[in-house]
Amino acid sequence: MRNRLTVVKGYSQLLERLTNQPEVDVMRAGAYCAALTQEIALFEQLLEQYFAAARLQWDDAAIDWHAVDLGRLAQQVVTRFAASSPPRGGRSLHLDTRDEIHGIWDYHWLGEAVAALISNALTYSPDGSEVQLTVRRQNDHALLVVTDTGSGVVAGEEEQIFEPFERGAAARQQGARGWGLGLFIASQAVVAHGGWLEIESEPGRGSEFSMHVPLLPPAAAPLPA
């Protein structure tokens, strides 16, 4: 957030200096205004994503429970990634959904969690590698596992990377773009379903994120009509 505010402040200062000149360069002023508008829009998007995910911690009504086919949901998320922005560097996605899994979940938030895990895996995977996505049923839970062969997570950062606006050592070293909200959103969405996330990782050899979600809502959650 501080980075975004610094950029907004910088463009505001440039505009102020420009308007104090005897002759205002209209073209440059227009460029600064356009850049400032874009940065404000990005900042608004960041705040909206953060507060929407944070709301899951305290507002039971934030989850809209309905019957969902997890395999179909995962396939739709994978298809969306391929259609909107083909993976860079020849990275590919492989989905294995041998089990047919139906549960009572929130389609939107479960999809956000799956998308965040996929995006994270693609971001830190080497060129030409494959990200594996596996969907299985495990007793009364659904299990979705995302495996990559990327840079991995440094020991001690396993919990930190799920905090809002936190970025691991790999993100800082690679200069990866992002706001540090993806894994936070994933964790909030999964916990709101009564589930949990696990990570197994080794620096330089990749990571495996496992998403566990009960097939039925927590006892206190309202059932769908």
pLDDT tens for residues 182-200?
899 999 999 999 999 999 9
Query: Do residues 91 and 174 touch, judged by C-beta distance below 8 A?
Result: no
In sequence order, what are the residues at sequence separation of 6 or more whose Cβ sits closer than 8 angstroms to the Cβ of residue 88?
Answer: 122, 127
> Which among 158, 135, 157, 132 is positioned nearest to 146, based on CA atoms?
132
> What's the pLDDT tens digit per position in 140-170?
999 999 999 887 777 666 677 778 666 655 5
CA–CA gap between residue 93 and residue 82 (Å, rounded): 9
Average pLDDT, the chain: 83
What tokens does 123 get?
Answer: 């971001």
pLDDT score, position 136: 94
User: In a 10 Å sphere around its CB, with 0-12 CB exposed, 13-18 middle and 19+ buried, how is residue 16 labelled?
Assistant: exposed
More confident residue, 102 or 222: 102
What tokens does 218 get?
Answer: 């927590």
Domain locations along the chain: 2-55, 60-214
pLDDT band at 216 (very low <50, low <70, confident <90, very high): very high
CATH class of 60-214: alpha beta
What average pLDDT score do residues 87-108 get? 86
